[in-house]
């Protein structure tokens, strides 16, 4: 399959291109060059052209890219030119916040079911979405089939995450968005994308510590030069 020699970083950037293209469209800009796109995204123009070239020829020499057309093409590549039904497990703080997030729907992801293991919560309406009420974990398999759900958001506590992941995979979920701070062990055919909020802050902590020590080094050097 030729598709697997597409670098993963290129696919990640595709999403960023799409986001920027949508912004340009709203700003009534109908044409954009790789150079201009690169400036706002802090990437080189070559990289953008190379990334796009993995998927086809979308631009016009001397002109650039048609914003609307490229948007359509990237959506098709990413598979977001249609609606995806998504389920959410974990109706805690984070889960409910995610269920209220409008950004998903805007991109074609439709939350169609919410599950929680707490019997106190089961049956309650999801306030941000009147159509939904919280279901028991035991209904996952049935609901996945009924509603043709391929993607799942896992927002349960760390202790329960692996167990829930197993249930989701068995139910036929194909992509898993994991918020729990654990490494899930799932069938390699299932795509997993993970966000660990604390890990992100750790990375910032490292970078800040780093830039501070660089500053100090610089200061020392300047002081030495001055002295």
Partner DNA sequence: TAGTGTGAATGGATTCACAGCC
Partner DNA sequence: GGCTGTGAATCCATTCACACTA
The residues with which 64 forms a beta bridge, in sequence order, are 60
Site map 151..190 versus DNA, x via CB under 7 A: ----------------------------------------
Judged by beta carbon, residue 19 or residue 35, the one nearer DNA is 35
Question: Is residue 57 involved in binding DNA (CB under 7 A)?
Answer: yes
Judge whether 140 and 153 are in contact, CB under 8 Å.
Answer: no
Question: Is residue 208 involved in binding a copy of itself (CB under 8 A)?
Answer: yes
Judge whether 80 and 146 are in contact, CB under 8 Å.
Answer: no
Q: Smallest Cα–Cα separation from 167: which of 194, 193, 139?
A: 139
Using CB atoms within 10 Å of the CB of residue 197, give its burial: 0 to 12 exposed, 13 to 18 middle, 19+ buried.
exposed
153: Cβ contacts below 8 Å, ≥ 6 apart: 86, 87, 88, 89, 95, 98, 177, 179
4-23 residues near DNA, rule: CB under 7 A: 5, 7-10
Question: Is residue 186 involved in binding a copy of itself (CB under 8 A)?
Answer: no
Q: What b/e sequence results for 103-123 when a residue is b if at least 16 CB atoms lie within 10 Å of its CB, and e otherwise?
A: ebeebebebbbbbbbeeebbe
Judged by beta carbon, residue 56 or residue 119, the one nearer DNA is 56
Q: Which residues bind DNA (CB under 7 A)?
A: 5, 7-10, 33-36, 43-47, 49-53, 57-65
Q: Which residues bind a copy of itself (CB under 8 A)?
A: 1, 3-4, 11-12, 14-16, 18-20, 23, 40-42, 77-80, 84, 86, 93-94, 96-98, 100-101, 103-104, 106-107, 109, 128, 150-151, 174-177, 181-183, 185, 189, 191, 193, 195-214, 217
């Amino acid at each position: 399959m030729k598709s697997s020699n597409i670098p993963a970083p290129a696919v990640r950037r595709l999403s960023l291109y799409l986001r920027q293209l949508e912004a340009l469209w709203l700003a009534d800009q109908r044409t954009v060059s790789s150079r201009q796109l690169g400036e706002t995204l802090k990437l080189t123009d070559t990289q953008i052209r190379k990334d796009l070239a993995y998927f086809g020829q979308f631009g016009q020499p001397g002109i650039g890219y048609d914003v609307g057309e490229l948007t359509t093409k990237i959506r098709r590549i990413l598979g977001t030119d249609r609606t995806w039904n998504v389920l959410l497990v974990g109706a805690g703080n984070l889960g409910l916040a995610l269920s209220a997030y409008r950004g998903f729907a805007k991109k074609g992801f439709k939350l169609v079911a919410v599950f929680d293991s707490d019997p106190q919560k089961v049956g309650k309406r999801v306030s941000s979405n009147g159509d939904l009420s919280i279901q028991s974990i035991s209904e996952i398999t049935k609901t996945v089939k009924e509603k043709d759900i391929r993607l799942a958001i896992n927002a349960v506590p760390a202790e329960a995450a692996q167990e829930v992941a197993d249930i989701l995979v068995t139910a036929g979920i194909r992509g898993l968005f994991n918020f729990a701070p654990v490494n899930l062990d799932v069938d390699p055919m299932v795509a997993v994308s993970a966000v660990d909020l604390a890990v992100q802050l750790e990375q910032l902590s490292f970078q800040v510590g780093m830039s501070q020590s660089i500053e100090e080094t610089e200061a020392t050097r300047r002081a030495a030069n001055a002295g």
